[in-house]
Amino acid sequence: PGLRRFCVVIRPQVEDTGKMAAVAGMVRGPLRQVSGLLKRRFHRSAPAALQLTVREAINQGMDEELERDEKVFLLGEEVAQYDGAYKVSRGLWKKYGDKRIIDTPISEMGFAGIAVGAAMAGLRPICEFMTFNFSMQAIDQVINSAAKTYYMSAGLQPVPIVFRGPNGASAGVAAQHSQCFAAWYGHCPGLKVVSPWNSEDAKGLIKSAIRDDNPVVMLENELMYGVAFELPAEAQSKDFLIPIGKAKIEKQGTHITVVAHSRPVGHCLEAAAVLSKEGIECEVINLRTIRPMDIEAIEASVMKTNHLVTVEGGWPQFGVGAEICARIMEGPAFNFLDAPAVRVTGADVPMPYAKILEDNSIPQVKDIIFAIKKTLNV
């Protein structure tokens, strides 16, 4: 700004090359000055925002923690030479070698048990399940060994371990590979359970999970791995952490509170954008942590908006939304509700394989809009 646009045209009228060189020299001087000024102004401008996929964010978080603490290591099926089934651990084996990035046999109970034992011995394992559907093979290790040991040892034996991998429904993988385990693991005392949505969540939560002295279950989403988000400047720091147990208000609003975790957060923001054009302002809360749940943030929002809708990809019975509704009913925010709280959930059926049935079994943006309008009676 402030610089005049100009163009210099040299039209030689004579064949004298010496005169032409002199004219060119006269032009080059001012041009160099302008170029230098532009460069200085450019370098003073704010740095371009960094775009990072959720996959890259988790990889970056693990890489930073592996570098920071030699007690941290990763194990699971195909995490090393193959770079991970979903390429989340890409490049880590080449950087840290066989002792820190370990390929295991296809035995969840076996390598989860090894990871729990390593955590009890003072290491900090990251145990990857290829999907959390396969964690059922190791649930005795996760619940009876990892979650309960600190309590049963009267606080003498911590188990600093992270169980991570994709959770919930993917696409076209049918019933045995399409369950959300947020309510399952959130039910168990002794565990911390986190559920990231975007790249900022993913990086901040994996780093906090690795540093935590308790067993942490990190429920990622396969369909979000390749989605790129803008990473804020503070999240690009190696010291960036997201506190476990704190939700985030993704969008401020005054008419209704919408609470979600993982992929449905994006659906809620899409629904909120549509409804905003109709004069309905939704406050969208990204839970980030399932256990311990930030019920205070939800209560404060409900006291402001007087309405509540919860959204999740899991089944309705005993789900995360059911817990939120119960906590609101039992707490101070209940008296502020102007209408019953409404849950939007996955269908109460095993996941169908056919795509049209699958789409109707998972909450869509239109379902969220319908639930919000129903709650507001519009």
pLDDT 10s digits, 58-102: 999 999 999 999 999 999 999 999 999 999 999 999 999 999 999
Q: What is the pLDDT of residue 6?
A: 38
Say how far apart CA 249 and CA 93 lie, in whole Å: 37
Given this model, what pLDDT does residue 11 score?
43
- From the list 177, 255, 261, 267, the catalytic residue is 177
Q: What is the CATH number of domain 51-236?
A: 3.40.50.970
pTM given for the model? 0.86
Residue 187 annotated to the active site: no
User: What are the distances in angstroms from CA 350 to CA 70, 174, 180, 261, 310?
Assistant: 42, 8, 11, 21, 21
Give the residue carrying structure tokens 């009876």: 144
Of 270, 278, 281, the closest CA to residue 306 belongs to: 281
Alpha-carbon torsion 47, 51, 56, 58, what sign?
Answer: positive
Band of the pLDDT at 262, cuts 50, 70, 90?
A: very high
pLDDT at position 252 = 97
**pLDDT, tens digit, 9 for 90 and up, residues 120-169:** 999 999 999 999 999 999 999 999 999 999 999 999 999 999 999 999 99
Told to judge if 177 belongs to the known catalytic residues of this protein, a careful annotator would answer: yes
> Could you state, in order of their start, the residue ranges of all structural domains in the chain?
51-236, 248-376
- Mean pLDDT, the chain, integer: 91
Eight-class DSSP state of 224: G
The pair phi, psi for residue 211, each rounded to 5°, is: -80, -15
Pick the catalytic residue from 56, 65, 108, 312. Answer: 108
> Worst-scoring range by mean pLDDT, 7-21, 63-77, 168-182?
7-21
How large is the average pLDDT for residues 222-227? 96
Range 349-374 average pLDDT: 96
Q: Is the peptide bond before 292 cis (omega within 30 degrees of 0)?
A: yes
In three-state secondary structure terms, 76 is strand
* Phi-psi map region of 172: left, alpha, beta (phi>0 left; psi -120 to 50 alpha): left
Q: Which fold has domain 248-376?
A: Rossmann fold (3.40.50)
* Spatial separation of the C-alpha atoms in residues 53 and 342, rounded to whole Å: 32
Which segment, 7-16, 46-55, 283-292, is predicted with the most confidence on average? 283-292
Task: Check pLDDT > 50 for residue 4.
Answer: no
**Structure confidence at residue 48 (pLDDT):** 58
Q: Are 240 and 234 in contact (CB under 8 A)?
A: yes
- Identical fold between 51-236 and 248-376: yes
What would the pLDDT profile of 301-360 be if each residue is shown by its tens digit?
999 999 999 999 999 999 999 999 999 999 999 999 999 999 999 999 999 999 999 999
Choose between 189 and 4: higher pLDDT: 189
- The tokens for 131 are 């999907």
Residue 228, beta-bridge partner list: 53
Measure the CA–CA gap between 270 and 17, rounded to whole angstroms: 66
- What's the pLDDT score for residue 61? 98
